[in-house]
Amino acid sequence: MNEGRNGSAGADATQADPVRIEPSPKRVRAYLAGRLVADTRRPSLVWEVPYYPAYYFPAGDVVAELTPTGKTEHSPGRGDAEICDVRVGGAVAEGAARRYPGSPASALRGLVRLEWSAMSEWLEEDEPVYTHPRDPHKRVDILASSRHVRIEVDGVTVADSVRPVILFETGLPPRYYLPLTDVRMELLTPSDTQTRCPYKGTAAYWSVDTGHGAHADLAWVYRTPLPESQKVAGLVCFYAEKVDLYLDGELQERPRTHFA
């Protein structure tokens, strides 16, 4: 999820719903049930939400059949989207494509947007990418540290460490990943929740209960992170937005993010 730096908006965007559009140099492919849906060397990144972009394909690079559903969806900046079913090799993804032939943002008029979750596989160049496209304006730095990190929940210390690994991600507060042995694991209960990140991989979650009621999905772990995030493998992180975090003995103000 991207809360990174703002870039220039599309020249034809409205002020009510500005559309930021950038070309990407990556080759991007999308598949449905093992069948190629689209393959382009000239994708566009479109920020429909502030946190991360979506890929839009030139219409000529979409090899699947797009069948209009008769439905439309309006956005002040992008205009009226024609919603289409995606059909390829007998597989159908209903309502998984959008076209904007009359968009006020002229750069969108010849492009097709595919619903990310409706496709079975996405590739950037020859590597799979998950959840959403990587944002070219986002950076992730992971640094070992000797700072003293203490986590309290309901006034109870649930983690205390002087060997955190700190993950700095553009637009988000620092995340403090702590060794399991520095966490009171008896207070943590695994949940069924999982999330995926294109930079880190798949996270599993714990709820925390110090005897004052359970706090759902308060902490997470990447057990098998993607290669670029191996430094956080097997470490526990708590939402700084939802706990009392002491850094070198000083209580930190809870950050305000869309996770709060």
pLDDT tens digits for range 169-228: 998 999 999 999 999 999 999 999 999 999 999 999 999 999 999 999 999 999 999 999
The mean pLDDT value of the chain amounts to 92
- Domain 20-128 coded CATH 2.170.150.40: yes
Average pLDDT over residues 62-89: 96
Domain ranges within the chain, ordered by starting residue = 20-128, 140-251
Does residue 80 register a pLDDT over 90? yes
* CATH entry, 140-251, from 3.40.50.300, 3.30.1300.10, 1.10.3720.10, 2.170.150.40: 2.170.150.40
User: In the prediction, which pLDDT does 17 show?
Assistant: 53
User: In the prediction, which pLDDT does 7 show?
Assistant: 32
* Eight-class DSSP state of 92: E
Q: How many CA atoms lie within 13 A of 239 on its CB side?
A: 16
Give yes or no on whether 20-128 and 140-251 have one common fold: yes
Residues 258 and 240: beta-carbon distance below 8 Å: no
Taking the C-alpha atoms of residue 52 and residue 42, their distance in angstroms, rounded to an integer, is 19
